[in-house]
Structure 1
């Protein structure tokens, strides 16, 4: 069994390969090769915290179990600690293949999935990206989105100016963002009105921008607030949008952005055009209306975790990275040491 730490994972993931893995995951999910995961949510009140357990398989070859934990150690503070681990099994030989530290992995997985969707749904020529949310996934999201579209300007919209400004400053200091006009803003309406692509990564309970101002032909990616009672988009946007999802069942049941307007009648089921994986099938070319607003709602699918884990483990084996551990004999062998390049981490640290 290969054991991979956070630094190993950070160096083994390369954006283009990760985006390709997400395309593959969406396709495999859409044809039933990656069924919906088993899911268990456990919470506690003292200290406040929760753990989300996900389990799933792919093509009969891999089986994965992932645990995401969140804890608020200080009852008087909103500061949250988060950690994640995944166990990847060889489902044919019934042996554990890898144990992977997935706290940073999760950022790559989410960002790469959003980039794959933007690559499939956004106009080929775009100028401005508006990103709502300046949290832990935002730096990776911007990096990955720039890998699929040549944005010339990026507006980062946060609840307050401090975090969004810190992130914008940190990104501007990175050579990979040279030539891109990156700014922090508190004007949600102006940013939404001027954007070719809008991506939301917030925990908001209520819509974060007025949908009436979104221009025809724009793409809106809704990737946050994944609770039945919460929504990032209002009725004005949803009522005129062509909607794609990553997993129809979970989105219409657990995503407030869709289940609320479905219940009210603002959104009819036939206006959900389909799953992104179906759109990515070779025999199914995209048929998008350039005069309509396109919405992609992402809840995430376990296939994304499996596809990226398979990529990471394959690269680790090729390069001899990690720790090799025999769970039967207890034999442990340290392989090549790897140090994080710090590209994404440096941006995130600078934005704290």
Structure 2
């Protein structure tokens, strides 16, 4: 075999199932991986969007993902987020493989969220509300189903047809489903939702926010105590899916404090408004897995922005599984 092997989307998904990805991330954290030591990713502004470079090293491997975010791609029928991953030998830095960056992102992000849910949510949590109808929303349904006994999924989307199609996919998994339409949020205005969405949020055990929204998706006061909310749609300090009321009421866990305080608008904006302080963050993923986070009586929130160590852990596992087949 000659040339650098390339693992396409189908190969990545086949080589590392969702449940395996969740466990790999937990194992890495238990083995001493410190999310706080992950290098900050450069974000380069481009005419069409952004270029993100995400390097990391751990154990026997190093790697970097070159990801692009192009907001205008939706109108072209193209993915908003694209990218390529390069995996290297950790000692020699010899290139080992390239792989589909979209597939890697679509796998590791829900796996990270599911890892947080595994340690934050009540054992019987089974009523899920998903905001969003894209690949990340679908990935979160599948990943959450690996760590909690999902019974019902309510999808909230801007496009009724897409929400209905998403609900049909969930129904094919044997889940009870409902499809609701989101109310567009006006910049700077308090979040407003329909009565049906409000009721779904009130009853939910789990809420996954997987959107491109820049303003809160729903009033935080709707979320009941003990519910777990995951927000992964934003990696910018001036965009958020959750309001300050919810964040202030909740036990808040982040991937890494350094990353959250630089990139997570769901945290940065309440701090800038004086709603919370940096001390409000209960811990990062390593703290959570190690049992160093004590959940309070209110809701639990996990805010993710996506980090390079997560890509590396899953990419290395995909490569090792591929190598074992060849």
Structures share fold, TM-score greater than 0.5: yes
1:1-352 matches, within 5 Å, as 1-27=4-30, 31=34, 35-45=37-47, 48-59=48-59, 61-71=60-70, 77=75, 79-81=77-79, 82-173=81-172, 177-178=173-174, 180-186=175-181, 187-281=196-290, 284=291, 287-289=294-296, 291-320=297-326
Identify if the C-alpha distance between structure 1 residues 246 and 28 changes in structure 2 by more than 3 Å, giving closer, same or farther: farther
Deviations 1:67-105 (A, max 9, x none): 11344778x946444432111111212311211122212
Q: Is the 8 A contact 1:225 1:232 kept in 2?
A: yes
Deviations 1:175-233 (A, max 9, x none): xx11x102211333122111011110111111101111111111111111221111111
Identify if the C-alpha distance between structure 1 residues 29 and 206 changes in structure 2 by more than 3 Å, giving closer, same or farther: farther
Q: Which runs of 5+ in 2 are unaligned?
A: 182-195
Q: Is the 8 A contact 1:21 1:304 kept in 2?
A: no
Q: Is the 8 A contact 2:82 2:102 kept in 1?
A: yes
Partners of 2:243 and 2:71 lie apart in 1 by 30
Q: Is the 8 A contact 1:188 1:208 kept in 2?
A: no
Q: Which runs of 5+ in 1 are unaligned?
A: 321-352
- Matched residue, 1:345: none
Partners of 1:23 and 1:10 lie apart in 2 by 19
- The residue matched to 1:8 in structure 2 has which SS? helix
Give the C-alpha shift of residue 160 in structure 1: 2.8
Deviations 1:113-137 (A, max 9, x none): 1111101110111131111111121
Give the C-alpha shift of residue 55 in structure 1: 1.2
Partners of 2:254 and 2:29 lie apart in 1 by 10
Deviations 1:146-191 (A, max 9, x none): 1110011111111232211111112323xxx11x102211333122
Q: Give the alignment's TM-score, normalised by structure 1.
A: 0.81
- The residue matched to 2:50 in structure 1 has which SS? strand
Rg larger for: 1
Q: Is the 8 A contact 1:216 1:292 kept in 2?
A: yes
Identify if the C-alpha distance between structure 1 residues 29 and 229 changes in structure 2 by more than 3 Å, giving closer, same or farther: farther
- The residue matched to 2:153 in structure 1 has which SS? strand
Deviations 1:225-250 (A, max 9, x none): 22111111112211211111111111
Q: Give the alignment's TM-score, normalised by structure 2.
A: 0.88
Moved more, 76-85 or 154-163: 76-85
